[in-house]
Structure 1
Amino acid sequence: MKNKYLLAFILLTSLFFLWGFALNLNPILIPHLKKACQLTDFQSALIDSASYIAYFLVALPAGLFMKKYGYKYGITLGLLLFAVGTFLFYPAAELRNYAFFLVALFVIASGLTFLETAANPYITVLGDADSATQRLNFAQSFNGLAAFLAPLAGGLFILSGKTLTAQEEQAMSTDQLNEYLNHEASSVQTPFLLIGVVVLLVAILIWRTALPEIKEETDETSSSSDSIWGEKNLILGVIAQFFYVGAQVCVSSFFIRFSDKVAGIEERSAAFFLSGALLGFMIGRFVGTYLMRFVAPSRLLAIYSVINFALLIIAIMTNGMVSIYALIGVEFFMSIMFPTIFALSIRGLGEKTKIGSSLVIMAIVGGAIFPVIMGRISDVTNIQTSYIVPALCFTVVLYFALKNAKVKYIKLGSSH
């Protein structure tokens, strides 16, 4: 990587950590708000919907905004929205209003959409094109670090470890029950205020730092006069990303509930298991980045898709800790999927990179849809059976990987 891009690369990488931390608090919020707001599995899954629907609604406007004003303005606006959303958690908890929580999550995710729409393609062009996939996987590794730390912090500072049974609720007076529920809701206030302050500080730092504005070069096979919808591999990548993000969110979001029902692990302990699983996710990013020196990204993506399908079938068909370890394995093998699908999808788009990346980011809406389907299946059958949803999603990722396997790659051995 050219030295002139080093500071920009470091700052952009910090953004991967921030949005990774925010999104990976959702698996904590789902069981927590399920208690505090007395929700069903289907209703609690709307936490993911509120977050990921923002990617669908905001990604294209974010891309157009940055096409006109540049990456720096887009990143700054994204950070400001992110901060506002975290501050909204305070009144939402005071009112113990689930709809208010969903609005706050939507605002946070709107900010994250700007960050992802900017940071993902920005990282790919901050250096040699041949090492773009490897570079993006490296930056996403810090997203993986945040994914490990978020449930750990959430388990310590948000979850109480106390879940009332139906009999215990009935034995309480109305005032006692409200006191318990209000206490549960209020535990999110301080953590989210602190996150908001950190995000504002990063916004100030980004604004005061001179970032290079990257001008994507026009590719010979892709001109701005061509329709973006004519990019077949991009469209296939959008579909693959839609199913992948749906699978990723399903696996993580219901992990704590799955651990309780299948292995009898209480919520705080399950949060630590989830943190360990996401540590594996982070390690997987670094391992995958290294393996891409020797294995084409599309081929590695195909191999990991098959492994994840098999692991999910094991999680569905077995009980106890075997199922838990199978899900932990899925986290490791999901690690490279988002950045690899992203980089393969926008490869060679030239001047259409910003709009193309917006479409791939819009596909994150899969995280809003599949958990709701999974939650409904869980309510009707059980949480274990519902994991068939992410298993089927990985078959679509496999198809995309195989379609890209014929693309000729130079070994990704360049330094970051």
Structure 2
Amino acid sequence: MLCFFAMGFVDLVGTASNYVQKDLSLTDSQANLFPSLVFFWFLIFSVPTGLLMNRIGRKNTVLVSLAVTLTSLVIPVFADSFTAMLLAFSFLGIGNAIMQTSLNPLVSNLMSSDHLASTLTFGQFVKAIASFLAPILAAWGATTLMPTLGMNWKVLFPIYAAVCTITIAMLGATPIEEEQPDKASSVTDCIRLLGRPFILLCFLGIMCHVGIDVGTNTTAPKILIERLGMTLETAGFATGVYFIFRTAGCFLGSFILRSCSARKFFTVSVVMMLLAMIILFSASSLYLIYAAIAMIGFGNSNIFPVVFAQALNNSPKEKNEVSGLMIMGLFGGTIFPLAMGFASDILGGQAGAIAVMTIGAAYLLLYSARIKK
């Protein structure tokens, strides 16, 4: 569970990019390069991680991911230039790509098949706690510690680095008897599956889901700053609102999907996001904006597991290749923030970013018609 908590460190990129933008006076497109860079590495490292697991084992692969993540958290403590932050976020993305691919298979060595799904669901809940804490720790450092101890929002990096160090020590000391490695997959094996129409639709669905997730994480505080003139420290709570309702959605979704068809629940979730984005285009009330952000958080919380399960069920004989391909779809976290940044710069406001996210939600609504009941 500590590893799942460390997996959630990747979501600090939305909060951190806003503070870096303020510190270095960056444009929206420059600031959105940070979350884009983080998720770019999922495209590169998802399949090679599968090969690495077959060579050194799942536990050692997770330890490698934690070591890379720890490096990413240490860099901002000693340097805060644009280049240093690009390097830090690159290591954060690489470490998380390796961890996302290797941690779930490692858990399967510890739990019986009857309890695996519930354990992974609880892991996502723990991961969301780290995501939720990031904006709170950053605001605490900027508002409370800055006047008294001279520290700023970057206090979240040494705190998370300490947790990461403890996680490495505890996992390293835990004996785990692993299964025989699966047959290795290649990049070619994964890419070839995109020739199947439904797998391609699922891949694009994962990209849209992650794009909306990272996009809301990054853009929500900017909307409050633009519409209500709030400070970044105060507006950062909008990211917390998103993660609170995404966490609640994950928890409730695990029960709802047992009694409700995947297509119906998926469609309701996407419609909720579309309504929220319509509200965000013109909302100028604090509570109305919070409500819309909450709706996106709840609606987007169960998109990934439904799409992922649909893809696996469509190709049961190639689950390894499909899994690698779906993780590669997290590359959407690179494309969406870049497009949102450019759209915001062109339109001179966050309406441009909201429009890009709306396109992603509209695609998911079209995809819902292809979901098997």
Letter of the 1:198 partner, please give it.
V
What is the total number of aligned residue pairs between the two structures?
A: 364
Aligned to 1:86: 73
Query: What's the offset of the Cα at 1:297?
Result: 3.3
Q: Does 1:19 align with 2:7?
A: yes
SS of the residue 2:258 aligns to? coil
**8 A Cα contact 2:203 2:325, kept in partner:** yes
Q: Does 1:335 align with 2:301?
A: yes
Higher mean displacement: 389-398 or 30-39: 389-398
Higher mean displacement: 109-118 or 358-367: 358-367
SS of the residue 1:403 aligns to? coil
**8 A Cα contact 2:206 2:330, kept in partner:** yes
Once the two structures are superposed, residues 81-125 of structure 1 have per-residue CA deviations (whole angstroms, 9 ceiling, x without a partner) of 0111111112322xxx11210111111211111110112455578
**8 A Cα contact 1:71 1:118, kept in partner:** yes
Aligned to 2:364: 397
SS of the residue 1:25 aligns to? helix
Match of 2:40 among 53, 68, 80: 53
CA–CA separation in structure 1 for the residues paired with 2:120 and 2:365: 20
Once the two structures are superposed, residues 223-277 of structure 1 have per-residue CA deviations (whole angstroms, 9 ceiling, x without a partner) of 99x9543474444322211111111111110111111112333222212233133
Letter of the 1:402 partner, please give it.
A
SS of the residue 1:292 aligns to? helix
Q: Does 1:375 align with 2:341?
A: yes
Q: Which runs of 5+ in 2 are unaligned?
A: none
TM-score by length of 1: 0.78
**8 A Cα contact 2:208 2:360, kept in partner:** yes
Aligned to 2:216: 251
**8 A Cα contact 2:68 2:91, kept in partner:** yes
Once the two structures are superposed, residues 148-192 of structure 1 have per-residue CA deviations (whole angstroms, 9 ceiling, x without a partner) of 222111221246899xxxxxxxxxxxxxxxxxxxx99x7355431
CA–CA separation in structure 1 for the residues paired with 2:153 and 2:139: 11
Higher mean displacement: 318-327 or 186-195: 186-195
CA–CA separation in structure 2 for the residues paired with 1:206 and 1:347: 32
Q: Does 1:72 align with 2:59?
A: yes
Match of 1:199 among 164, 178, 187: 164
Aligned to 2:99: 115
The 1:15/1:235 distance shift into structure 2, 3 A limit, reads farther
Once the two structures are superposed, residues 261-305 of structure 1 have per-residue CA deviations (whole angstroms, 9 ceiling, x without a partner) of 123332222122331332121111111111112113343222201
* Equivalent residue runs for 1:179-328 within 5 Å: 187=152, 189-214=154-179, 227-228=189-190, 229-230=192-193, 232=196, 233-321=198-286, 322-328=288-294
Aligned to 1:167: none
Query: What's the offset of the Cα at 1:319?
Result: 2.5
Higher mean displacement: 263-272 or 147-156: 263-272
Q: Does 1:142 align with 2:126?
A: yes
SS of the residue 2:284 aligns to? coil
Greater Rg by CA: 1
Q: Sequence identity of aligned pairs in percent? A: 21
CA–CA separation in structure 2 for the residues paired with 1:124 and 1:300: 27
Letter of the 1:112 partner, please give it.
N
CA–CA separation in structure 1 for the residues paired with 2:102 and 2:251: 22
Q: Show structure 1 runs of 4+ deviating over 6 A.
A: 159-162
SS of the residue 1:211 aligns to? coil
CA–CA separation in structure 2 for the residues paired with 1:397 and 1:136: 24
Letter of the 1:116 partner, please give it.
Q
**8 A Cα contact 1:137 1:340, kept in partner:** no
TM-score by length of 2: 0.87
